[in-house]
């Protein structure tokens, strides 16, 4: 067959998957996303290397040195039990980031599984979506408090409770994606060429949900860190013996007027963490799908 005009193209360049090319391009175009990524990496580094960052035991009580103002010795001051606030804030990053990342991971995985099944099995759709609507009609923090009241305070239960509140958002996103994707001509062409349903799900549906899922995961991560702090602040979250940003702020609340640094430093860290994750998410969203609504 003769070579025709439309088969002549630019010389073969290295062929890249569209997702990764687009992520790289967009990060280049969105400096805030890069900034968010850097801050997030610093916070993760802080959490991992907490013992080597000039910290002391965050639980060590020293009544003699209580409520010291921030100084060279106590960078962020000490609390009413004489514990070093700097050490507590640095160790607190471990709790917040663990909760944020694990909730994002579990919520997306569970939501993905439920969403794929409801999108493809029509009779399940009505039932599952009504349950999800029910879950979403209760404010997330309230639902998490209720779930925490049923169990005992531990980090695992906090993660579990927040995951339950975040799953419906993922299910709704994935279900709507599956409903759109299954009508795509390439899915119909795959059916017409004899591809079996499990393979259609894995090969044609799943890869096309990854990008929006990734974006949603960043928002869930940010929202989970906030919810964890709120739960701890209300005394319904991480047990008080574990230093988390929410706990530190809760303990500092009564002394806010004489020792505002007790709330200031963990507050700054929490804001930074949430802000950086959101900036990263915004960059990813613009990179992957400009049409994707932020709070789907």
Partner 1 sequence: MSATPVLAVKNLKKHFPVRRGVFSRLSAKVYAVDGISFTIKAGETLGLVGESGCGKSTAGKLILKLIEPTAGEIHLDGARIDQLPRADMRPFRQDLQVVFQDPYSSLNPRMRAKDIVAEPMENFARGSKAEIEAQVATLFEKVGLRRDQMIRFPHEFSGGQRQRLVIARALALRPKLIVCDEAVSALDVSVQAQVINLLADLQRDFGVAYLFIAHDLAVVEHISHRVAVMYLGRIVELADKRSLFANPQHPYSEALLSAVPVPDPTAKPKRIILQGDVPSPIRPPPGCHFHTRCPYAEARCRTETPLMREVAPGHFAACHLRPGRAVES
**Residue closer to partner 1 (CB basis): 181 or 222:** 181
CA–CA gap between residue 248 and residue 233 (Å, rounded): 8
Q: Under a CB-based contact definition with an 8 Å cutoff, are residues 281 and 275 in contact? A: no
Minimum separation from the CB atom of position 21 to partner 1 (A): 9
**Residue closer to partner 1 (CB basis): 7 or 257:** 7
Q: Under a CB-based contact definition with an 8 Å cutoff, are residues 255 and 261 in contact? A: no
The three-state secondary structure class of 142 is helix
Minimum separation from the CB atom of position 37 to partner 1 (A): 24
**Residue closer to partner 1 (CB basis): 25 or 57:** 25
Q: How far is the CA of 226 from the CAs of 14, 53, 277, in angstroms?
A: 42, 25, 12
Taken in order 96, 98, 103, 104, is the CA torsion positive or negative?
Answer: positive
Q: How far is the CA of 101 from the CAs of 12, 35, 48, 127, 223, in angstroms?
A: 40, 19, 14, 29, 11
Place of tokens 């702090």: 229
Minimum separation from the CB atom of position 209 to partner 1 (A): 11
Minimum separation from the CB atom of position 213 to partner 1 (A): 14
Minimum separation from the CB atom of position 202 to partner 1 (A): 12
Minimum separation from the CB atom of position 173 to partner 1 (A): 18
**Residue closer to partner 1 (CB basis): 185 or 290:** 185
Minimum separation from the CB atom of position 203 to partner 1 (A): 7
**Residue closer to partner 1 (CB basis): 87 or 209:** 209
The three-state secondary structure class of 242 is coil
Q: Under a CB-based contact definition with an 8 Å cutoff, are residues 88 and 220 in contact? A: no
**Residue closer to partner 1 (CB basis): 67 or 117:** 117
Q: Under a CB-based contact definition with an 8 Å cutoff, are residues 251 and 262 in contact? A: yes
The interaxial angle of helices 122-137 and 85-120, nearest 10 deg, is 150
Task: Read off the tokens for 7.
Answer: 């088969």
Taken in order 130, 136, 139, 140, is the CA torsion positive or negative?
Answer: positive
Note the residues at the interface with partner 1 (CB under 8 A).
Answer: 1-7, 9, 12, 15-19, 184-186, 188-196, 199, 203-204, 207-208
DSSP label at 78?
Answer: B
**Residue closer to partner 1 (CB basis): 97 or 181:** 181
């Amino acid at each position: 067959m003769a070579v025709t005009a439309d088969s002549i193209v630019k010389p073969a360049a290295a062929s890249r998957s569209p997702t990764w090319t687009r992520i790289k391009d967009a990060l280049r175009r969105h400096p805030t996303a890069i900034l968010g990524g850097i801050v997030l990496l610093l916070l993760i580094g802080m959490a991992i290397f907490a013992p080597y960052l000039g910290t002391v035991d965050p639980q060590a009580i020293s009544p003699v040195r209580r409520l010291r103002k921030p100084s060279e010795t106590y960078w962020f001051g000490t609390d009413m039990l004489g514990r070093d606030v700097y050490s507590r804030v640095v160790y607190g990053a471990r709790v917040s980031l663990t909760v944020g990342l694990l909730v994002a991971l579990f919520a997306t995985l569970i939501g993905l599984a439920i969403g794929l099944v409801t999108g493809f099995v029509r009779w399940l759709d009505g039932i599952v979506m009504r349950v999800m609507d029910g879950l979403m009609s209760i404010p997330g923090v309230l639902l998490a408090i209720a779930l925490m009241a049923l169990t005992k305070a531990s980090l695992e239960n906090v993660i579990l409770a927040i995951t339950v509140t975040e799953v419906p958002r993922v299910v709704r996103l994935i279900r709507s994606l599956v409903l759109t994707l299954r009508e795509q001509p390439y899915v119909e062409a795959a059916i017409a060429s004899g591809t079996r349903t499990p393979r259609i799900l894995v090969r044609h549906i799943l890869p096309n949900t990854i990008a929006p899922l990734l974006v949603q995961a960043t928002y869930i991560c940010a929202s989970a860190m906030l919810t964890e702090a709120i739960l701890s602040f209300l005394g319904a979250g991480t047990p008080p013996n574990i230093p988390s940003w929410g706990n530190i702020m809760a303990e500092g609340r009564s002394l806010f007027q004489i020792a505002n640094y007790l709330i200031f430093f963990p507050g700054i860290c929490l804001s930074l963490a949430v802000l950086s994750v959101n900036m990263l998410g915004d960059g990813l969203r613009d990179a992957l799908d400009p049409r994707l609504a932020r709070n789907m």
